């Protein structure tokens, strides 16, 4: 980044330690580096104002009992919001469902399916590749709410899925009611696989043909090539993709809100929905913000794990 | 060009000034900046085809500006569903920079907002306003805070009752002028429909968290307030300022809900817990004759007006209306719940005097009447309620206006929204069959303690 001021003196300044002239020179250096930093200062000010500011404010609020309505004054309550969360069954339920949702839809679903699609497309003919790519990417560019409505229509009792099952003479059911977390996880896979697919397609294209050809000549089977050559070579992409996917999945709100509103009986209420309910429906801004910070913590835990995975060699 | 020291300094200075001025400009849109403009915030329908409120306010604005030369009205619509409208409004009310001069407040949250110090007491204005005596007492009470002061002028109310399909009733051999006397008679009618008219949902009672306040008010409270003798509030003890834990009436009401869903007299549980089910009841099930009885609100015909997307002008011939009976037919025999909206002046409003003038323009007798008719509202002014022109304006108005006599208002104190959620959870438990009535009632007691900081009492 160009923002960092040079630590050593610029080319025009002689080093003259301990001489009276040096102090003037050092001041000049400081002044000069300040001037050099000036052009980026608006960006820094903006970042502080609009990014660091609200985050700092959130941290402060998380330690108060601030409400949106129903209370004249708020006061500091220490860690009460956090201890309350861990005593709150609905919160623990939301943490569990968030983990299920993330593992099912991001780690297993989007990631594996994206990789599978990308490897299959490497071998497919161009029209097939374009068509598949087009369809998958369409799901991705749809706004979250639109995707939510589409999948609501797919899963609901009179929906497409049940129509297909009926036609196949298989038992139908209200998926959003009986298996809500599975339904929303599927929706997230449907929507988000394109991203993984694009990342992995790019990564697979980077692998030199000679390497795979050599392995093929040596008689390595498809699975062995995948395990011993492809995967190690795209290790970094896997890490990056997992991290981005996970963070995106942790914050999914609109999709679940439209499909189930976290119900029935909280059976698909992940942390973002729980947070929304506390902050804006129950007006407990302080508690909701504390939950938001805990969600941030979960996100960073995942990130740390992925970053460590990235460092270890296969 | 290499940046010189001076040009860099200038750029920085310029950027900072620009930033500061935009930041200041963003703050300058509050209500206090122009003493001749009154800013009015209201809830705009999320359905683009429904312009009832927009049209009405545009008309009042014209009248007001004509009668008060030099004064201006700025309408500030907030387009959002109910719960998001409350949130948005509360955020606006927090600061004098964003607070409008006049806001449209649901009685559901008015006490909560009063406690927050968001609203201004109107007693001084009301004392000097003759029309205030025309308002019925229950409606006045709905906008009164715990301190006894009045914080809003109600612009109508609503009541609730039983809508039934005459066609389904004919097929089931039930009378077209049906009026049940007890809960059992309601359930018996539903059982008859189940037996004789297959393919039709016998009765709908909103339930569970997805239905939200509709479950609490159209569903549960319509039962609960019909238990006991009806003279005391079954949820809140006003004298002791404490919330009442689940007693016999509460358990009986849960048992009614349990019966409806256990005996499959209601919709499929998965349908009942679909957040969009209310829309289907109004837009699909009732008009298509697929629902026998609906425990629902007076405002339903709003959805069947011309240009609404589900036009159904014949509804008054195809649907019958009956009052919800008390549990065992005890006096007064009928029960109803009322809510409604009020016009309130924010504590941080810049032009409160002008805002009250605007309320007075909206509440001239003629304007009030125009509004009740336009939005299928129920009059809270005696002079309008007794006017034949109002009574005949729409089928159903007379029926629902008569229910004002026996109606109840919710104890809409600050903890109410959370209490309401606790009720929905108890209902959901017995609806899905996950909880027995006793378990659900105990769960409610626990949630009630949590929601009210232990301000509870058993009765």
Residue with tokens 């159903």: B396
Which of B89, B111, B123 lies closest to B349, judged by CA? B89
| Percent helix / strand / coil, chain B, rounded to 5 | 50, 15, 35
| Residues in B 309-338 with any Cβ partner in A closer than 8 A | none
Q: Which of A18-22, A230-234, B150-154, B207-211 has the lowest mean pLDDT?
A: A18-22
CA distances from A188 to A150, A191, B275, B426 (A): 12, 5, 20, 31
Question: Could you tell me which residue, B5 or B61, shows the higher pLDDT?
Answer: B61
pLDDT in tens, B333-353: 999 999 889 999 999 999 999
pLDDT score recorded for residue B166: 96
- Reply yes or no on whether the pLDDT at B173 is more than 80: yes
Backbone angles phi, psi at B141, to 5 degrees: -65, -30
The C-alpha atoms of residue B192 and residue B161 are separated, in whole angstroms, by: 20
Chain B hits for A69, CB-CB cut-off 8 Å, are: 86, 90, 109, 112-113, 115-116, 118, 414
pLDDT score recorded for residue B307: 67
| Mean pLDDT, contiguous 10-residue spans, chain A (314 residues) | 42 45 66 85 89 89 87 85 90 94 93 90 86 84 89 87 90 85 93 90 88 83 82 87 92 91 85 92 89 92 85 58
Percent of all residues in chain B with a pLDDT value above 70, rounded to a whole number: 92
Distance of CA A81 to the CA centre of its chain: 25
- Reply yes or no on whether the pLDDT at B254 is more than 50: yes
Instruction: Answer yes or no: are the C-beta atoms of B234 and B244 closer than 8 Å.
Output: yes
CA distances from A288 to B93, B168, B452 (A): 20, 47, 18
A261 with B15: Cβ contact below 8 A: no
Considering only CA atoms, give the Rg of chain A: 26
Residue with tokens 């009436």: B249
Helical segments of chain A, H only: 20-37, 41-47, 53-61, 80-87, 89-101, 111-123, 126-141, 144-155, 160-167, 175-178, 180-206, 209-217, 222-225, 231-233, 235-250, 254-259, 271-276, 285-311
Q: What is the mean pLDDT of residues B422-444?
A: 95
B258 vs chain A: nearest CA distance in angstroms?
16
CB atoms within 10 A of CB A273: 22
Q: Does residue B418 sit at the A interface (CB-CB below 8 Å)? A: yes
pLDDT score recorded for residue B220: 97
B37 vs chain A: nearest CA distance in angstroms?
27
Q: Report ipTM for this prediction.
A: 0.72
Q: Which strands, in side-by-side order, build the sheet including B407-409? A: B324-325, B334-338, B407-409
Helical segments of B303-404, H only: 315-318, 352-362, 365-374, 382-385, 388-391, 397-402
Which of A162, A108, A121, A113 lies closest to A139, judged by CA? A113
- Reply yes or no on whether the pLDDT at B274 is more than 60: yes
B116 with A176: Cβ contact below 8 A: no
Q: Does residue B11 sit at the A interface (CB-CB below 8 Å)? A: yes
B116 vs chain A: nearest CA distance in angstroms?
4
Average pLDDT taken over every residue of chain B: 87
A72 with B115: Cβ contact below 8 A: yes
Residue with tokens 């956090």: A82
Q: How confident is the model at residue B33 (pLDDT cuts 50, 70, 90)?
A: low
| Residues in B 182-211 with any Cβ partner in A closer than 8 A | 208-210
The C-alpha atoms of residue B233 and residue B352 are separated, in whole angstroms, by: 34
Instruction: Answer yes or no: are the C-beta atoms of A197 and A111 closer than 8 Å.
Output: no
B208 with A263: Cβ contact below 8 A: yes
The C-alpha atoms of residue A95 and residue A207 are separated, in whole angstroms, by: 39
Q: Which are the contacts of A4, defined by CB distance < 8 A and separation ≥ 6?
A: none
CB atoms within 10 A of CB B144: 17
pLDDT score recorded for residue B32: 52
B373 vs chain A: nearest CA distance in angstroms?
31
Query: Number of residue pairs across A and B with CB atoms under 8 Å?
Result: 93
Q: How confident is the model at residue B194 (pLDDT cuts 50, 70, 90)?
A: very high
A283 with B210: Cβ contact below 8 A: no
pLDDT score recorded for residue A24: 54
Identify the helix (H) or strand (E) that includes residue B416.
helix B416-432
Is the torsion defined by CA of B432, B295, B413, A289 positive or negative?
positive
Q: What is the mean pLDDT of residues B310-337?
A: 93
Chain B hits for A68, CB-CB cut-off 8 Å, are: 87, 90-91
pLDDT score recorded for residue A312: 62
The C-alpha atoms of residue B72 and residue A8 are separated, in whole angstroms, by: 64
Check residue B396 and give left, alpha or beta (phi > 0: left; psi -120 to 50: alpha).
Answer: left
Instruction: Answer yes or no: are the C-beta atoms of B377 and B155 closer than 8 Å.
Output: yes
- Cα B17–Cα B21–Cα B26 angle in degrees, nearest 5: 150
Chain A hits for B3, CB-CB cut-off 8 Å, are: 39
Chain B hits for A45, CB-CB cut-off 8 Å, are: 16, 19
A288 vs chain B: nearest CA distance in angstroms?
14
Between B5, B84, B269, which is nearest A35 by CB?
A: B5
A174 with B428: Cβ contact below 8 A: no
Q: Which are the contacts of B331, defined by CB distance < 8 A and separation ≥ 6?
A: B229, B230
The residues on A that touch B, with CB distances below 8 Å, are: 35, 38-39, 41-42, 45-46, 67-72, 156-157, 174, 176-178, 260-261, 263-265, 280-283
CB burial of B71-100 (b: ≥16 within 10 Å; e: otherwise) equals bebebbebebeeeebbbbbbebbbeebbbb
Smallest CA–CA distance from B435 into chain A, residue: A265
Between A46, A264, A282, which is nearest B432 by CB?
A: A264
Chain A hits for B112, CB-CB cut-off 8 Å, are: 69-70, 283
- Reply yes or no on whether the pLDDT at B20 is more than 50: no
- Reply yes or no on whether the pLDDT at B228 is more than 70: yes
| Residues in B 83-112 with any Cβ partner in A closer than 8 A | 83-84, 86-87, 90-91, 109, 112
pLDDT score recorded for residue B15: 39
Chain A hits for B268, CB-CB cut-off 8 Å, are: 157, 174
B428 with A46: Cβ contact below 8 A: no
Between A178, A261, A282, which is nearest B417 by CB?
A: A282
pLDDT score recorded for residue B227: 94
């Amino acid at each position: 980044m160009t923002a960092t001021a040079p630590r050593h003196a610029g080319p025009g300044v002689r080093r003259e330690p301990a001489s009276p002239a040096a102090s003037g020179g050092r001041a000049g250096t400081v002044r000069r580096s300040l001037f050099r930093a000036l052009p980026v200062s608006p960006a820094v000010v903006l970042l502080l104002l609009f990014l660091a500011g609200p985050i700092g404010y959130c941290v402060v609020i998380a330690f108060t009992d601030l409400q949106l309505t129903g209370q004249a004054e708020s006061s500091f309550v220490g860690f009460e919001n956090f201890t309350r969360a861990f005593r709150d069954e609905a919160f623990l339920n939301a943490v569990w469902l968030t983990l299920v949702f993330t593992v099912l839809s991001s780690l297993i679903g989007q990631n594996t399916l994206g990789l599978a699609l990308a490897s299959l497309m490497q071998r497919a003919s161009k029209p097939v590749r374009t068509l598949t790519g087009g369809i998958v990417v369409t799901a991705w560019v749809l706004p979250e709410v639109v995707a939510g409505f589409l999948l609501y229509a797919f899963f609901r009792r009179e929906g497409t899925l049940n129509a297909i099952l009926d036609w196949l003479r298989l038992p139908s059911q209200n998926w959003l009611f009986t298996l809500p977390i599975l339904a929303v996880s599927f929706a997230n896979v449907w929507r988000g696989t394109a991203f993984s697919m694009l990342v992995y397609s790019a990564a697979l294209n980077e692998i030199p043909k000679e390497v795979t050809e050599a392995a093929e000549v040596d008689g390595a089977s498809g699975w062995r090539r995948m395990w011993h050559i492809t995967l190690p070579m795209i290790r970094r992409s896997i890490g990056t993709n997992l991290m981005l996917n996970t963070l995106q999945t942790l914050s999914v709100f609109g999709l679940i809100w439209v499909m189930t509103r976290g119900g029935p009986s909280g059976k698909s209420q992940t942390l973002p929905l729980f947070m929304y309910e506390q902050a804006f429906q129950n007006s407990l801004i302080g508690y909701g913000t504390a939950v938001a910070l805990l969600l941030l913590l979960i996100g960073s835990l995942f990130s740390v794990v992925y970053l460590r995975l990235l460092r270890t060699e296969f | 060009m290499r940046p010189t020291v001076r040009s860099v300094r200038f750029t920085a200075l310029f950027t900072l000034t620009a930033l500061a001025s935009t930041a200041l400009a963003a703050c300058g849109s509050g209500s206090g900046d122009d003493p001749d403009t009154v800013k009015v915030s209201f809830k705009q329908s999320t359905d683009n085809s429904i312009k009832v409120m927009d049209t009405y306010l545009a008309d009042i604005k014209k009248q007001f500006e004509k009668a008060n030369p030099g004064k201006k009205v700025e309408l500030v619509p907030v387009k959002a569903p109910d719960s998001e409208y409350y949130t948005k409004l509360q955020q606006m009310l927090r600061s004098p920079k964003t607070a409008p001069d006049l806001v449209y407040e649901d009685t559901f949250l008015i006490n909560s907002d009063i406690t927050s110090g968001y609203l201004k007491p109107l007693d001084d204005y009301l004392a000097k306003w003759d029309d205030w005596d025309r308002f019925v007492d229950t409606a006045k009470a709905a906008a009164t805070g715990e301190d006894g002061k009045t914080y809003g002028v109600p612009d109508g109310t609503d009541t609730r009752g039983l809508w039934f399909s005459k066609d389904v009733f004919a097929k089931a051999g039930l009378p077209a002028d049906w009026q049940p006397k007890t809960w059992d008679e309601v359930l018996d009618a539903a059982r008859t429909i189940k037996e004789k008219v297959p393919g039709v949902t016998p009765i709908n009672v909103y339930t569970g968290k997805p239905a939200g306040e509709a479950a609490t008010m159209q569903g549960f409270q319509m039962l609960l307030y019909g238990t006991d003798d009806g003279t005391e509030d079954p949820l809140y003890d006003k004298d002791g300022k404490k919330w009442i834990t689940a007693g016999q009436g509460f358990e009986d009401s849960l048992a009614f809900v349990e019966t409806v869903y256990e005996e499959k007299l209601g919709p499929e549980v998965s349908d009942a817990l679909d957040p969009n089910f209310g829309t289907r009841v109004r837009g699909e099930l009732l008009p298509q004759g697929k629902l026998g009885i609906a425990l629902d609100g007076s405002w339903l015909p709003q959805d069947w007006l011309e240009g609404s997307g589900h036009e159904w002008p014949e509804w008054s011939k195809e649907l019958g209306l009956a009052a919800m009976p008390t549990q065992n037919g005890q006096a007064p025999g009928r029960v109803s719940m009322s809510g409604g909206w009020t016009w309130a002046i924010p504590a941080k409003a810049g032009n409160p005097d002008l805002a009250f003038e605007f309320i007075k323009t909206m509440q001239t007798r003629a304007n009030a009447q125009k509004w009740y008719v336009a939005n299928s509202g129920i009059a809270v002014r005696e002079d309008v309620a007794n006017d034949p022109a109002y009574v005949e304006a729409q089928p159903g108005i007379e029926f629902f206006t008569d229910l004002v006599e026996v109606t109840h208002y919710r104890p809409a104190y600050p903890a109410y929204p959370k209490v309401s959620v606790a009720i929905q959870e108890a209902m959901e438990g017995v609806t899905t069959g996950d909880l027995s009535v006793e378990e659900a009632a105990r769960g409610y007691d626990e949630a009630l303690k949590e929601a009210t900081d232990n301000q509870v009492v058993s009765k």
